[in-house]
Structure 1
């Protein structure tokens, strides 16, 4: 009798679409997701929504750019001149991840298997192409142009359902963060039954082989 296959490791990735460190973690996150013994779910925390949202100011733009250059040195992830000029340079524009979370929930409702792809699409649009991901018009345009036409339509035709999904997902993310005492994102958790265990997420940036103590 052949042995039963090992139970996959279930991970929850807590993130915010406007978090530069989450973008920096993307390459190692993709490598981790490619493992056959790992299942991962995206859990937005709404870090930059509600009271966490703000308007872009010159001081905040300078602070973000300093962090972005550090992330680039550690990960090689691109923070382009277009991003610097068109995103950080748009003083007064809302810094609010709510629209991007709604876009991801629209993808979850229409093509859930493409949710990680959609997050990558939004991150690249912002950090590489300098596109606006803080307005519904901006994220809808990005989704439609990148082949997420059903999700783009859902933002228009099912706004109530999408908003409910977003609120539920954010509530789950915040509850998970509180449960493990996490203060920010990215945060990576192992979920097993009713228990959540936080992983040293610095490994997502710098040391993938040590992540989960599972050798490549």
Structure 2
């Protein structure tokens, strides 16, 4: 399985419990970031976007049980002059998984919790480095603050693979899940990530 995501995507946060269940069931899930909210995709956190995001977040919480706290609303959505920019968070996930790709999921969950539960605006390198260090990934945090050419090359390759697969699947957004057999990817509709686990398994096995 391959999972396409952006760390600042609320729907991706909502899908995280399904990733946990797949991993717990022995399914190998490779995480590939698409850079949706980085570079040209970054945008100001203005009042209109904040209201739109909060409305969506409440829907995600009702559907999945994932918590979006008042701390997140007050300290992230309601602070003007900041950007919705996932570059630092995505680079942090690349750093965490540089030597062990299985750490990407833990890093993603750590960053999501920092934002949506703890209300930390994790759009800076310094902020992500602190979050990773506090979660026991100080090596990734230190690497993030002093990135090597090896990290930057691996990061560009990871995001490039994510974007290429996203385009190949003709996906219309993230999260997106793909089954890849014999180098032929098949897109599983994102709705399957927000229903029953048995329904998701049936989609994977189809």
What TM-score, normalized to structure 1? 0.90
Equivalent residue, structure 1, for 2:156:
167
Instruction: Map residues 123-142 of structure 1 onto 2, 5 A cutoff.
Output: 123-142=112-131
Instruction: Map residues 136-215 of structure 1 onto 2, 5 A cutoff.
Output: 136-213=125-202
Supply the distance in 1 between the matched residues of 2:119 and 2:33 (Cα, whole angstroms): 22
What is the CA-CA distance between 1:162 and the residue it aligns to? 2.2
Contact 1:105/1:166 (CA < 8 Å) preserved in 2?
yes
- State yes or no: 1:12 paired with 2:26: no
Q: CA RMSD in A?
A: 1.4
Larger of the two Rg values belongs to structure: 1
Task: Name the CA shift for 1:94/1:160 in 2 (closer, same or farther; >3 Å).
Answer: farther
Contact 2:125/2:145 (CA < 8 Å) preserved in 1?
no
What runs of 5+ residues in structure 2 fail to find an aligned partner? none
What TM-score, normalized to structure 2? 0.94
- State how many pairs are aligned: 204
What is the CA-CA distance between 1:33 and the residue it aligns to? 1.5
Instruction: Map residues 90-101 of structure 1 onto 2, 5 A cutoff.
Output: 90-101=79-90
Supply the distance in 2 between the matched residues of 1:89 and 1:160 (Cα, whole angstroms): 36
What is the CA-CA distance between 1:212 and the residue it aligns to? 3.5
Contact 1:199/1:212 (CA < 8 Å) preserved in 2?
no
The one of 71, 83, 103 equivalent to 2:72 is 83
What is the CA-CA distance between 1:148 and the residue it aligns to? 0.3
SS of the residue aligned with 2:102?
Answer: helix
What runs of 5+ residues in structure 1 fail to find an aligned partner? 1-10
Consecutive aligned runs of 4 or more in structure 1 exceeding 6 Å deviation: none
Equivalent residue, structure 2, for 1:69:
58
